[in-house]
Structure 1
Amino acid sequence: MAAGPAPDPRVLALAARVAEGSERDVPGLLLKLKEILSSASLGHQESKKTKQDIYFYDLIHYCLLLLRQDCSRLHGGWATAAQLAEIISHCCVGLEVKEDPEEFHKKFLPSAIDSLLFLGRRLQARFIRAIKDEEKQDFLRHFQTVTDAICWLFGGHIQLTECVLQNDHFLQLLITDNVETAVIVMSVLHSILGVDEEILHSVLDELVYKLSSSSNPVVGNAATKLLLLMANFCKQLLKLLATRYKETAPGSLYNSGNVEGISDKKKAEKTASSSDNLAEKLQACKFLEKRRRKRTLSPWKDPKGLTDEQRLALQQKVDDYIKLHPASQMSEEMSKELHMQAQEKLAQFLLRSRLDQRAAQRRETLLAQVNTDVELLMNAPRLAEITEKDLAVFMSRSVPVATRARESHSAMLKHARWPWWKKLGDEFEEDDVIPDDILNAELGSLFIGGRKSL
């Protein structure tokens, strides 16, 4: 920056805080530019100097970068983004850049207008998707703030009107079907037409489309005002409207009278009504077709009914089969005898299964004893290291053998002293099967060996 007056100390201090502050604190710091720009004590020259300092220290560039980010994550959300857009427009209007003005006018300003339009498009989308009335009002207010900033910016730089009209974001804002935002966008068009008279024809098609297709009176009122404003700037628009859009001569617009206007209005209403009816019929047809498809794809199919002839033929087949395969008749005595045999076989089966279970338990007991002996042999010390105590373990089991013999003898005596009615089932027992009490005594007297530490 060339030598001259000292920079504004507030701008200099703010730039230092922005450079040293965290990313979260930067939006809140940049909002202080609004207070600096709107300071009442600044004169015209001082205001220009302050804007130059803000531009020189790249504070406006920081604002543009923030508008390109996800504004919902900023401190303050979309309200902060709308205020930053307002700061950008107020700082750029009346700003005289002395160093490289071509870059400012051909690169920075188009980039700024594109960022503001992009922000407006995102706010419009949020407004349309919002459900709560409070949220919708907030987004609409922020959208109005951004559009006012856009109007203020191209009002101070007339060459930006062409950038606005050629911008894809502005086209998306204009073709929306939402009433509230469409009216605001058309107010932006109104401002553009008031700034530059040479671009009237570029927006005429969209205005006529809005006027002819929308049934909302607010949209129609805004479009009509814009068309009247165009007509004031260019008298040849009456002829253009008559030949291009009405397809009639200019004189017929004034001489046809009210009758033709009323008839045209009735025809238009009739056409709109018929189109609505057609849309309803198409929706109904689509719904019925969808229901029919679901019915055909349904896994459940209703059974088809039989005719009288088919029913008689089926009944005849059933009768013939019954005659060829008659049910066997059984007397009451035979039925009782068969029942008794089934009961006896069931009792034998249950008893045999119980005996098999006892034998399986005995086999498991013997297998456990064998495993214990095998483990004892595997853990035996070497012959060179054996002692008398270890030898006694393998040569004699006097304690467990005597204990088992005593318990087995007691169990046999107890079994022998049973009354006769407890021994009625002995004829089904095998010789090698021991009763439950004896088996329990045997299980309780198992010799369980442990590992011997070497």
Structure 2
Amino acid sequence: MSRCCSNRSASSLLRTAHLAIKPMEGRLESVQELKTQLEETDVTLGQKIKLLNSAINRALHTDTVALTRVTSELYHSGVLRHCVQDVLSLDGRRLQGHWSSASTLAQLTSSCCAAVDPGDHWEAFHTLFLPSVIDGLLSLAAQMMMMRTTSQGSEGVSMFRTVMDSVSQLLTAHAQLTSQVLSCVHYEHIQMCDDVTVSLMCINMWLQTCSVSRNFLSSLSDDSILLLLNEAVGHLAVSADSAVGGASVRLLLLMSSQLHVLPLLLSFRGLDNLLDKDWRGRGFDQDVDQLIKLMESHRGRISPSQESSERVRAACVIQAAWRSHQTRRRVKSLSRAVSSLQRSFRARRRQQQQQEEAQKWEEELKYQVCLRRKQARRAFHEKQRKLLQLLPPGQVQSYLSECERCAAVRIQSLWRGFRDRRLFTNTYRRSLRERRAATTLQRAVRRFLQRRRVAKAPPTTALWLGHRGLTDSSRAELKAQVEEYVAAHPSSCVSREECERLHVDVQLLLQTELQREGERRREEQRREALLAHTHTLLEQLREAPPLSVVTATVADSFLSPSGIIAARARDSHNALLQETRLPWWRTLGEAEDTLGPTLPLVELEAELGGLFVGGTV
């Protein structure tokens, strides 16, 4: 369905293109129909460019008498504005695949603008439309220059040349656009290109424009002439290509022959030396010699007094003396500022060095902390591995299970703590907001009720109004009432002696409690010390090496500091040695041991509280 619509729109576009070349009496209707077709929403960019190229090309191939009228109809109907806004001013990404058609449309648009007779709309045509056309052409040229690497060699150069020729054609017909071209941003981008072909095309464009129109240079302003001279001299100073240099020299000669620009050329100091040293022997020595001769002849017209070496030297001496005086004054007045600047600079540099050193120390500290943590973790794992080797095989799995359980409990406790703290924080914040809101509301309500009570309460009168004094009978009656109330409501206060006695009792009780607390604390510390000592001895006994590798120093470390325990252990050990030396028949019966009282190992271990455990062999 979409393909049929596109074919139908393409056929209608071709029919409109053929309508654009009708006789003069029906040309206005065909231009209006062309505009209507261009404003349709289903027209693609390629179809629009093809339609414009076909219609404008056929319109330009009419006779010379009707050419002005046709171009004027294209301008007044807005077709040329469509060319500028819908094609020439588009971004390069939208023109992909349509570069050739866009360059052809640029040339046709320039030809139409050169032959348009705006009539009563000449002010809008010269101040609004033509600058937009120039900006669109230069924008298209700049995009072609940037996308020239993606084009196919000579085809890209040919399209760029076509657009630049269009600019030259428009400048020939409307010389007032020269200042806009030289100050345009897109033309500056073209000038900054390092390609020799682009530079040569720019110079040839100006050379062609000046050659075709004799009145082109005379119609330019002084600023435009100076900008044009700057471009030509800049190409001579920057470029090393012979073609670019020859075109620049020819442009300068042409401008010198048509205008009096030699005083402006003399303002470029060293131009004659540049021409003599860098551009001789390049194939255009005759042009170079002619330009140098013109500059020297104009320089020779200056009076000898102005070129006097003595005056020049005197002027240099005076200027040097004045500048040195100004410099000394400035340096003398700025000595304090320089000292302050140096001091602040050194302080800033010292601060930066200190910050860098502090940062290095911090990084080194972090690295050492991380390294020591790794070493401690490695030592801990190594110790755990050694302890696992000492455990019996049957207890390894249970020990690992216990370690996993403890780790899981630790992780779960951390997670639950984090979750509860977060929940408590959120709940606390919510409850705090609610409490504050309730407090605010209650305060407001209380104030409101207080104000209402105060407003509704009747005015109080003073109690002493009408009671100037008491009579004896009223005084006796009040005294009786007071005594009756005191008798009915006895006071709860105690005497001072009772308070002191209670204070002394409380102090004695508190001192007794503090003494008991101190005794309990000392007893707890002693118990913790004994437990720690016991655990240390048990750990040492578990890690005891086999007897085959025991040394005297290691054996001394296993001696108990208690004399009683050491004596009992020595007796038990001697008894066991003597028992091993008995004949076998002495061990069969329950005969009484004649070597001395000995205790079995189980009873001895029970008696010593599990502090003596034999080593392993």
Q: TM-score, normalised by structure 2?
A: 0.38
Q: TM-score, normalised by structure 1?
A: 0.50
Relative contact order (C-alpha < 8 Å, sep 6+): which is higher?
Answer: 1
